[in-house]
């Protein structure tokens, strides 16, 4: 099942009431965010999502916060400071 066929199938299921109407916008938001987090450029995302205007695609970029959080964490100079509780805190993060 290809991408276009999948979209049409979901639209059909929404139109006959087998899926709630919020499913399509939710899938678009997740898809846009995932593409942004993978550093897919905005014009490619625009084409993949079928948007006519890059501003429509950029709306989903703000959802790509996981990558930003990881970048901030790596760049944080305080994470290099070791204290007696550092090992315990790292151990708790793994669980």
Mean pLDDT per segment of 10 residues, for the chain of length 95 residues? 70 90 86 86 89 84 73 79 80 77
pLDDT of residue 44: 92
- Count how many domains the chain has: 1
List the domain range (segments joined by +) for residue 26: 3-94
**Are 39 and 25 a contacting pair, CB within 8 Å?**
no
Quote the CA–CA distance of 27 and 87 in Å, as a whole number: 39
Quote the CA–CA distance of 37 and 25 in Å, as a whole number: 18
pLDDT of residue 15: 92
Longest dimension (CA), the chain: 60
Quote the CA–CA distance of 13 and 34 in Å, as a whole number: 24
Tokens of 21: 């109407």
pLDDT of residue 27: 85
pLDDT of residue 95: 63
């Amino acid at each position: 099942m290809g991408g276009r066929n999948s979209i049409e199938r979901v639209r059909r299921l929404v139109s006959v009431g087998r899926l709630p109407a919020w499913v399509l916008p939710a899938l678009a938001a997740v898809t846009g965010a995932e593409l942004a987090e993978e550093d897919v450029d905005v014009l490619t995302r625009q084409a993949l999502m079928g948007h006519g205007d890059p501003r429509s695609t950029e709306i989903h970029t703000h959802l790509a916060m996981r990558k930003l959080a990881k970048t901030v964490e790596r760049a944080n100079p305080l994470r290099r400071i070791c204290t007696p509780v550092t090992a315990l805190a790292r151990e708790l993060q793994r669980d």
